[in-house]
Chain A
Amino acid sequence: MADTPHSARFEELLPAYALGALDGEELRELEAHLDGGCPDCRRLLALWDRDLEALAEAVEPVEPSATTRARILRLGATAPPARARQPLLPWLSLAAAALLVAAVWGIAGQLRLRGELERLTMERDRLARQVTALDQQVTLARSAAERANQALQVLAAPGVQSVVLAGLGPATQAAGHTYVNPRRHDALFYAFDLPPLPRDKTYQLWFIAAGKPVSAGTFAVDARGTGSLRVDQVADVASIQAWAVTVEPAGGVPQPTGTMVLKTTVLKG
């Protein structure tokens, strides 16, 4: 049941909401109404979403570079060849028939050769998949090393400041740490013991500078409730009054709207 009855006013807010343009009191009112489960508004919102998909298609297509293309398609190349698996049964039937004919005509020797060829072909394909998988592992390891290096640059910087965030409301057991490099204006954030969220929600980190919340990005947590985020650009450390984490719609929002689960004030490190 919707908390507030469906009305033409809510319908008028839907296109701006779908665009992500709604803010302030109107956003809070409509989200409360949608959370109440109004079926009319949900149906109309889905139609507006479709219109926006059309808007996205109006852009001029751009061909990806050869490097990007190769990196992306390498992902699919690590999978077992699904198309080759499908005709397995018909192939076996054919093979059985062929065996019978061979037995009759006494050409089993040729079949043995063919079988050997197929075995070698399968072995070659298996090795090719292994090489691709290893290649992907190297890429992932490089990426992990790069992230670790970036983390080290923040943590080992002179004057790094640590900020502790404590759990609030539905997540009192949770905690967070932010390490800010005041020279480079970047930061690392780690969250612990946060509850996992449904697919349509995300955690969003904010810093409050000059009284205004500024988004530092969104993050997810793993099964143990641990999450992390690298923040490329933070305001001057002296101007940051607090850090906070809220629960927001997937993809994040320009201004905080959801429940606050972590908050702190700056502690000089």
Chain B
Amino acid sequence: MDDEKETEDLQLMSRVAAQDGGAFTRLFELHAPVTLGLLSRILTRRMEAEEVLQEVFLQIWTQADRYDASRSTPRGWILMLARSRALDRIRRRDASRRREELVGEEQGDAVPPVGTERIERVERQRQVAGALGALSPDQRRCIELAFFEGLTHTQIAERLAAPLGTVKSRILLGMNKLRQTLSSQLHS
């Protein structure tokens, strides 16, 4: 089923590269909610997340011909574009003030699962969430700080007041465990 979704995504990407508005709308319907979910998680501010979502889809519309299918899935490409833009915003924002001040603002409305298609995608999210749950809390925290906040080994060690070597080891072991769990889910 995932293969079918990926095939549809690949077809949509090549049609969007040819400036097909219908394909662009479909791509938006399929991927905007999870992209906005990721942006909201990284930026913590809903309005800013929606602004970046517009930038991401403008980039998709104008640069879909740059997508390289040998390097990532279309959904992965979109999500990594979004993450990169959001982290860039955070770095600019953090030039003079810390991110903690912003926590606790508006939270996004969760999307109710509707239709088979969304249920399948929700199932995938559940699998990954399950894989994250298999990590130790320390491993999970380190990986999340790197992925969602763009922190480096040294910055994570400072934030958690943990030895640098411990942070490196938590990330390495955690990432390996994540892969193992994801891979076993895929084959089960």
Contact = CB atoms under 8 A, between A and B. Distances in A.
Nearest to A59: B37
13 contacts: A20-B147, A23-B153, A24-B154, A49-B76, A55-B143, A64-B36, A72-B28, A75-B57, A76-B21, A78-B21, A185-B96, A214-B95, A254-B91
Interface string A228-245: 000111110000000000
Given A61-B37, A233-B97, A72 B75 contact: no
A186 to B, nearest CB: 10
A256 interface: no
B128 A254 contact: no
Contacts of A159: none
B11 interface: no
Given A53-B80, A61-B36, A82-B23, 9 more contacts: A12-B172, A50-B72, A75-B21, A75-B58, A82-B21, A217-B88, A234-B95, A252-B88, A254-B151
Interface string B95-133: 111000000000011110000000001101100110110
A181 interface: no
Contacts of A60: 37, 41, 108, 110-111, 125
B129 A15 contact: no
A50 B92 contact: no
Contacts of A55: 128, 132, 143, 147, 178
Interface string A31-56: 00000000000000011111111111
Task: Summarize B's interface: helix, strand, loop or mixed.
Answer: helix
Contact of B21 (A57, A67, A77, A214): A77
B19 interface: yes
- Of the four ranges (under 10, 10 to 19, 20 to 34, 35 or more), the interface on chain B belongs to 35 or more
B87 A20 contact: yes
A251 B153 contact: no
A48 B37 CA distance: 22
B87 A53 contact: no
B21 A79 contact: yes
Contacts of B82: 56
Interface string A174-192: 0000000000010000000
Interface in B139-188: 143, 146-147, 150-156, 168, 171-172, 175-176, 178-179, 182
A259 interface: no
Interface residues of A, number: 61
A244 B156 CA distance: 26
B75 A251 contact: no
A250 B72 contact: no
Nearest to A75: B61
B79 interface: yes
Interface string B20-33: 11111100100011
A68 interface: yes
Query: Which 7 pairs between the two chains have the least Cβ-Cβ distance?
Result: A53-B76, A62-B108, A76-B21, A76-B24, A251-B84, A61-B33, A15-B175
Nearest to B156: A21
B144 to A, nearest CB: 9
B8 to A, nearest CB: 15
In this complex, which of A57, A81, A216, A251 has the most chain B Cβ atoms within 10 angstroms of its Cβ? A57
B147 A19 contact: yes
A83 B53 CA distance: 26
A84 to B, nearest CB: 9
A21 B95 contact: no
